[in-house]
Amino acid sequence: MGCFKIPDSLCDDLKSMIRNFWWGQKSVEKKIPWVSWENMCEPKAGGGLGFKNLKCFNLALLAKQGWRLHFAQDSLAFRVLKAKYFLRCNFVQASLGKNPSYTWRSIMAAQDLVKEGIMWRVGNGRDVKVWGDRWLPGSSSHGVISPRLFLHRDTRVGELIDTEVMCWKSSVVDSIFLPHEAEAIKSIPLSVRAPPDKLV
């Protein structure tokens, strides 16, 4: 499951076998399922029993492989797949390509999941675009929704930081962003060492 996308039909068969075992089905005799499968898949802390949703679990493991292809660039798997499928870009920008292997199709099935979860951790702000990149904590999209009034499209987060003392330019932030976004931005801690920005 960590390397290949399991067919949905197989996941459904496995789910059916688990349900039948749990509810005590014997041969053709069926027992009453007192709780829906969706509720049983909820975490124990949320009132469920913590069963795995196999399709989602499979995609999560494949997304982990995609994440490794994006960052662990010294592995043999990365070098082979990059040379064949995404020579001139990174994994997040890659396309399925022509005549892909089952392994590549499986990993690409989780590409959207990687894109959905990836965001920037602000260091010095030089690599992060204010508009377009995902870097804002506390919002569901992690992107800025404030209107872009007078700054250019490629404005970097570093332009909002006073690099001499490594703190936010509060007056600039307050004048550009909606109040709740300005507060979220000013709550992002900055290091005096000004490390590079990092994708997490």
Task: Tell me which amino acid residue 107 is.
Answer: I
How high is the pLDDT of residue 167?
93
How high is the pLDDT of residue 90?
87
What's the whole-model pTM score?
0.74
191 within 8 A of 155, measured Cβ to Cβ: no
Could you give the C-alpha distances from 28 to 15, 24, 141, 151, in angstroms and in order?
17, 11, 48, 69
162 has which bridge partners?
167
Instruction: Give the integer Cα–Cα distance in Å for 73 and 97.
Output: 20
How high is the pLDDT of residue 170?
92
Could you give the C-alpha distances from 110 to 4, 72, 115, 122, in angstroms and in order?
11, 17, 9, 25
Instruction: Spell out the per-residue pLDDT of the chain, length 200, in tens.
Output: 889 999 999 999 998 888 888 887 676 677 777 788 888 888 899 888 888 889 999 999 999 999 998 888 888 989 999 999 999 988 988 999 889 999 999 999 999 999 888 899 999 999 999 998 999 987 778 888 888 877 888 899 999 999 889 999 999 999 999 999 999 999 999 999 999 999 88
